[in-house]
Amino acid sequence: MARADLILNLVKAGARGDQAHFRKTVEALAADERAKNHNILADRLIAHLQQDSNGRPKTLSPQPVRSPSGPLVAEVAPRRRLEDLILSTEVEQAVHELVEEQHRVDLLRSHNLEPRNRALLAGPPGNGKTSLAEAIADALNAPFLIVRYEAVIGSYLGETAQRIGQVFEHARSQQCVLFFDEFDAVGKERGDLHETGEIKRVVSSLLLQIDALPSYVVVVAASNHPELLDRAVWRRFQLRLELPMPKQEQIEEWFKRFETHTKQSFGLTPQSLAQNLKGLSFAEVEDFGTDVMRRIALNQSDADAVKIVEKCLAQWKKRFTLKVSDIH
């Protein structure tokens, strides 16, 4: 909502003694100020929010969030932009709508609407789930926070749920994109007879945290095995996007862009390369392209691109049992 509405809500929450609403409104004000690069004011708002009635810092405020295994989240600089990715029309449109809603939040709030802020990405590994999450953070010009499961998942009863709560509390202090890779590690179906009671507590805690999340925090979760996710987890995400294995025409488009970017011709048409590499993920196609460029660089002036590509295709045929057709 607009700043004036946030201030009015703050007064109402204070008058009612509604601590939860009061806290959420102050966090929204801080995020609004941080978006305007008023970082000092934003920090002061959060600092006052984290003090008790005597003006002392609350000991439960996890800043920064850590466990004995290290930080619970890692802030990473996004390396991908939306225009770098080859997406289906449906996925591209959905993501652009999400970004637009976040950018035009004041307009939405003037109509008593909130922007969507929860996206679930599903599909085989190596097809751009992490890259898309990075690109969303880049498009929003927001910090990209990756949840570190090795630090979050604990061995003692209730430890994991508590740390997940700390992760979300940290995320609420700023506008950001919070990324859960391999989300099924913490969002598994609670009805699974093979799972312990602890995972059920973790999922329940996760659902509560997602429900309480302000809309300026965008949560992106990725899963290679969406069928393992709890049904209630599915319902929490407004966007559920599938990133399948690339089609042949998408691989063709990738090689066109790659050759333009590297200013290096492979000597074979993108159509021919795509036909030979059909069935690979985007990550594997990128590995192939980088492998060819490495061989060309090492051969320098004597490089014969066609021969190098043919040799690499033969090697990848053995590695991935690819069907290498007549490439001439």
In a domain, 253, yes or no: yes
Same domain, 228 and 291: no
Q: Is residue 326 part of a domain?
A: no
Domain limits for position 223? 66-242
Inside any domain, residue 59:
no
Domain boundary among 242, 260, 279: 242
CATH number at residue 74: 3.40.50.300
Domain shared by 9 and 114, yes or no: no
Is 50 exceeded by the pLDDT of residue 324? Answer: no
Distance CA 189, CA 234 (A): 10
How many domains, the chain? 3
pLDDT in tens, 300-313: 766 688 899 999 99
Q: What is the reported pLDDT for 47?
A: 72
pLDDT, the chain, mean: 84
Q: Is 101 found in the same domain as 19?
A: no
Cα dist from 190 to 26, 55, 158, 198, whole Å: 34, 42, 16, 10
217, 242, 267 — which closes off a domain?
Answer: 242
Among candidate residues 220, 242, 264, the one where a domain is terminated: 242
For residue 226, pLDDT over 90 is answered with: no
| pLDDT tens by residue, 230-255 | 888 888 999 999 999 999 999 999 99
How many of the other CB atoms lie within 10 Å of CB of 57?
Answer: 11
Same domain flag for 27 and 128 = no
Better-scored residue on pLDDT, 192 or 227 = 227
- Enter the DSSP assignment of 188: B
Residue 61 counted as domain residue: no
Inside any domain, residue 328: no
Co-location of 162 and 117 in the same domain = yes
Q: Give yes or no: residues 122 and 214 share one domain.
A: yes
Same domain for 123 and 218, yes or no, is yes
30 pLDDT exceeds 90?
Answer: no
Claim to verify: residue 259 and residue 231 sit in the same structural domain: no
Give domain status of residue 233, yes or no. Answer: yes
| 219 and 100 within one domain | yes
The pLDDT tens digits of the residues spanning 126-155 come to 999 999 999 999 999 999 999 998 888 887
Same domain, 175 and 309: no
- Indicate whether 156 belongs to any domain: yes
* CA 65 to centroid of chain Cα atoms: 19
Alpha-helix runs per DSSP H in the chain: 3-16, 19-35, 39-49, 89-103, 105-110, 129-140, 149-152, 159-171, 197-211, 231-236, 248-262, 270-277, 282-299, 305-320
Q: Is the peptide bond before 64 cis (omega within 30 degrees of 0)?
A: yes
| Dihedral Cα 188, 189, 195, 196, nearest 10 deg | 90
Are residues 92 and 221 located together in one domain of the fold?
yes
- Whether residue 216 sits in one domain with residue 144: yes
Nearest CA to 26 out of 47, 55, 57, 52 is that of 47
212 is a domain residue: yes
In this predicted model, what pLDDT tens digit does every residue of 203-215 receive, in sequence order?
A: 888 889 999 899 9
| Planar angle of CA 243, 71, 203, nearest 5 degrees | 55
d(CA 152, CA 165): 10
